[in-house]
Amino acid sequence: MNERKNIKPDVSLYVSTGVNIQRLYDVAPEIHSYGLVKQLAQLLLPLKKVKSLEFIGEEAQQLINTISKRQESQRMDWADVAMVRSYVDSWTGRLKEISKGWIVSCPQTHINAGKLVEGPKAFLSDEEFNMLEPLEIHGLTEAASSLLFDNFTSAEFVALRTAESLLKKWYEKKTGKKLRRTTWGAVLEKLNREFPNERERPKELLLLDYLRERRNEIAHAEAVSNSVQASTTFLNVISLCQTLYFK
């Protein structure tokens, strides 16, 4: 069985879905052909891979299977028009219920929102992305999602935690020393003690002072990140991924 992939759709997909569903509903008997209905239904098939909208794509496939038994050039009859409209009525009703849980966001982040929707893969090459651990991918994905909803403190917190994971992995590989499980931020402190002189630090640690400073500031309960701080930290962690890939 093929694994279903849930794609994050953008607004244009929702708009086009509504337009195509309405065009199906407007099909008239003895005017429009079965071929046209098939073409319109095919436009909905990509929804089979879209989270929460899979049912439209799957039922559009059922509709195609049914009308494929007719000649494409043949005009629609009343019974089949009624069948098409019953599908549309069902989709419309379910969409109204589903959309009650949808939230529209206008991100204030300075990072391209389209790339944030795609997640860390939009910022990294395949090779850079593949070197990440599952938890690091999860962290960057969560940080990107938080930026989209203006949860800047959460975004920065998770991004910094991901940076510490990356640096821990780098440190253990470079020194051969195993770091025990430590408290949040301890990895950055350990690296700072190992390389106290900024000029003598490996280039992989050029961001160390910035990351340490942001970690120390955000650790305070009263700390609140703004858009610039969260966006900068996220992009710095992306830069760290790119730097460490070459090592």
pTM exceeding 0.75? no
pLDDT of residue 12: 62
> What are the sequence ranges of the domains in the chain?
11-101, 113-245
Q: What is the mean pLDDT of residues 188-204?
A: 80
Is the pLDDT reported for residue 121 higher than 90? yes
CATH code 1.20.120 for 113-245: yes
Q: What is the 3-state secondary structure (H, E, C) of the chain?
A: CCCCCCECCCHHHHHHHHHHHHHHHCCCCCCCEHHHHHHHHHCCHHHHHECCCHHHHHHHHHHHHHHCCCCCCCECCHHHHHHHHHHHHHHHHHHHHHHHHCCCCCCCCCCCHHHHHHCHHHCCCHHHHHCCCHHHHHHHHHHHHHHHCCCHHHHHHHHHHHHHHHHHHHHHHHHCCCCCCCCCCHHHHHHHHHCCCHHHCCHHHCCHHHHHHHHHHHCCCCCCCCHHHHHHHHHHHHHHHHHHHCC
Each residue's pLDDT tens digit, 67-81: 998 999 999 999 999
Q: What is the mean pLDDT of residues 159-180?
A: 85
Q: How confident is the model at residue 243 (pLDDT cuts 50, 70, 90)?
A: confident
